[in-house]
Structure 1
Amino acid sequence: MDTNVVIRLTKTALVLFFGFYALLVAFGNLTDFNSNLMFIQHVLSMDTTFEGNSLMYRAITSPTLQFTAYYLIILTEWFIAFACLYGSYRMARHLKSSNTTFHQEKKWGIIGLLVGISLWFFGFQVIGGEWFAMWQSQIWNGLDSAFRLTTYIGIALLALMLKEG
């Protein structure tokens, strides 16, 4: 097998694997809705952060806003799954195409990964971790998971953006 095809196959697999991951996360958030909703509610309400911290004015305690945030997260996860799975399908169909064609077919994978890094870096690490002080919680802290995901996504994005040949 040609090395260029192996490189393309690797890039396709990176997008495919993340698409399946996002699919499982989105499915899990629907099938274990209340457990995952509790996570969002606790992070947004900041009820397990350091007692007496002066950031509590940021807390969102409205159930409507908490549900809305959770639904937006789930919709975003479904979009990431779709974009990455569709992107990997498009890439797989063009493993032996020209460099220009294969590079163009990476578009949906890149979009899916970009939305993924937007959700798990910006959404969970920046907004959840810093704005809602999730880092202060011993119980409802998703920063380690978000870090693992953004590391994977970042590496996959770097690999994907490199042109072949």
Structure 2
Amino acid sequence: MLMRYSKILLTAALGVLILLVAINNVTDYNTNYEVVSHVMSMDQVPTGSPLEWRAVTSVTLHRMFYAFIIAIEFSAAALILAGVWRLLLARKAQATQFNAAKDVATAGLALAVGLYLFGFMAVGGEWFQMWRSGPDMQQAAFRFIGCAALVMLFLGQRDD
């Protein structure tokens, strides 16, 4: 029973973390919007770089991209926390039922890993060369990937 409660607790903690990130991005919109705009504009890439053509300078596209990030964060948090509720309801059930209850939380965790791995590491980090833009946001993204992936692996272990 301790392992089930541990899985529920860690999954809930990550769901709350992602929810807080999304809420912060809405309530303190400009802080991270400026980072997204800065990265997408690629204004730290040296002039004459063969990668300059990737830059997106449209404010509308910056806002759309940032809104998409926030929507994915809220979606991931909602799935994770809904999954936690399902896990709580199944915590005393047979192993097959508890294992089946993991799917919604797992989907949310996968969405979170996908956002930070693809959105921040691949698109932001490599496509837009985010690593050239001052504070290394890839480090923060990697922390989210690590936490979410570890929780997903732990949750995914079959209960007997």
Relative to the length of structure 1, the TM-score reads 0.93
2:13 aligns with one of 14, 17, 20: 17
The answer for unaligned runs of 5 or more in structure 2 is none
Q: Is the 8 A contact 2:15 2:77 kept in 1?
A: yes
Q: How does 1:49-60 map to 2 (within 5 A)?
A: 49-60=45-56
**Partners in 1 of 2:80 and 2:113 — Cα distance?**
13
Q: Is the 8 A contact 2:25 2:70 kept in 1?
A: yes
| Number of equivalences | 160
Cα offsets for 1:12-60 (capped at 9, x unmatched): 1121011101111111001111111101101111112345432111111
The aligned amino acid for 1:13 is L
**Partner in structure 2 of residue 121 of structure 1:** 117
**Partner in structure 2 of residue 153 of structure 1:** 148
**Partner in structure 2 of residue 101 of structure 1:** 97
Q: Is the 8 A contact 1:49 1:134 kept in 2?
A: no
**Partner in structure 2 of residue 72 of structure 1:** 68
Q: Percent identity?
A: 36
Cα offsets for 1:71-129 (capped at 9, x unmatched): 11111111111111111111011111111100111111101000001111110001100
In the TM superposition, structure 1's runs of 4+ consecutive aligned residues that sit over 4 Å from their partners are none
**Partner in structure 2 of residue 110 of structure 1:** 106
1:85 aligns with one of 70, 78, 81: 81
Question: Is the partner of 2:23 in helix, strand or coil?
Answer: helix
The answer for unaligned runs of 5 or more in structure 1 is none
Q: Is the 8 A contact 1:117 1:153 kept in 2?
A: yes
